[in-house]
Amino acid sequence: MMYSNCNLPLSLIKNYSTVKAFNSNSHSASCSTLVVNPVCLILTQYATKCKLKLGDTLIYCIYVINNTKNSVTNIKLKDTLPKEVKLIRTFVEDGYYNYNNNSILYKIRNIKPHSFCKITIVLRPTTLGKKINSIEVICKKSKCTLNNPCEICSIVKLNTNEDL
């Protein structure tokens, strides 16, 4: 299995303080505070096999995890499929999808607190080489921090039978 990396969002806050010494001279000092924003919506993706041969099916499993005490609603995701693959089928829990031009747009209606939504994508590669699938959240209706606001990628390498 190949898992994607997650980046925890951080922000740096600069604070200034005035310090009075015993001799009544005041000095200004700066200090920095590192604030770790809690991750609310976590995307994780893996491929069931990292090496396949031409003709095998390639299955990606994507989990959208709600790490909050509240439901998250109307989440929209865009999945950009690898080049030179044929979509066999896809499934999204509590949602629907539209497929167009090697992209799948998913809309998840609701993810309950501390639970997840699973998306499954089944593909058939038509050529050899690396297949990189990426997915990103394009819209959400809750104030939420993502574990990786850009893309979550998973790479699979297709080999000839001799390479396996």
CATH number of the domain to which 70 belongs: 2.60.40.1510
Alpha-carbon distances of 1 from 93, 120, 131, 155, rounded to whole Å:
22, 15, 14, 10
In a domain, 10, yes or no: no
What is the structure's pLDDT at 99? 96
In a domain, 22, yes or no: no
pLDDT digits (tens, 9 = 90+) for 131-157: 888 888 886 555 555 554 444 455 556
What is the structure's pLDDT at 74? 87
pLDDT at 3 over 50: no
Residue 6 identity (one-letter amino acid)? C
More confident residue, 142 or 104: 104
Q: How many domains is the chain built from?
A: 1
What is the structure's pLDDT at 70? 85
What is the structure's pLDDT at 73? 86
In a domain, 14, yes or no: no
In a domain, 144, yes or no: yes
Calculate what percentage of the chain has a pLDDT beyond 90.
22
Query: What is the rounded CA–CA span in Å between residue 85 and residue 130?
Result: 11
What is the b/e burial string over 53-76, where b = at least 16 CB atoms within 10 angstroms of the residue's CB?
Answer: eeeeebbbebebbbbbeeebeebe
In a domain, 2, yes or no: no
pLDDT at 8 over 50: no
Domain around 64: 39-163
Calculate what percentage of the chain has a pLDDT beyond 70.
60
pTM, two decimals, is 0.68
More confident residue, 159 or 120: 120
In a domain, 98, yes or no: yes
In a domain, 6, yes or no: no
pLDDT at 58 over 60: yes
In a domain, 81, yes or no: yes
The token pair at 142 is 């809750």
